[in-house]
Amino acid sequence: MPPVRYDEVEVGTQIPPRSYQLKRLNLVKYAGASGDFNIIHWNERVAREVGLPNVISHGMLTMAQAGNFVTEWANGDPGAVVELGVRFSKMVPVPDDDEGATVEISGVVAGKLGDGRVKVDLTARSGAEKVLSRSHAVVRLP
């Protein structure tokens, strides 16, 4: 993919969707990295006992996928993402199988802010559910 440049991006530019797989192993690794060992992220019996459909992904792990998405779009430079904001609107159940859950993220350039910065509105879905709302990033492009 050719590098994305500020002077070549227009408001309304669609960023093609990308799918991210979340499996139980991803949840275990994230728990270890973040220190968030809440039992609803790894024990299906307890998750169901408290009324959840299954073990669920950490919200911040779902948000991290949105960060990965804009980082990849911004020429692979994590330092280019100067702001990332989301609201968690739905949970992402992660079944204990070979498929896990799929989170699909897409974006649209919503504004050019000057100084090489663009605002990107993000959409994140798992199945038919919108799992992040009011999601956006500010990205500095060359």
Q: Look at residues 95, 73, 94, 100 and name the one whose alpha carbon lies nearest to residue 84.
A: 73
Q: In terms of pTM, does the model score above 0.75?
A: yes
Sequence ranges of the domains in the chain: 6-140
For 94-124, write each residue's pLDDT tens digit.
Answer: 999 999 999 999 999 999 999 999 999 999 9
For 26-81, write each residue's pLDDT tens digit.
Answer: 999 999 999 999 999 999 999 999 999 999 999 999 999 999 999 999 999 999 99
Residue 111 token pair: 């504004």
Task: Give the separation between CA 95 and CA 126, rounded to whole angstroms.
Answer: 13
Just give the CATH number of 6-140: 3.10.129.10
Three-point CA angle 28, 33, 36, nearest 5°:
70
Task: Give the separation between CA 102 and CA 81, rounded to whole angstroms.
Answer: 23
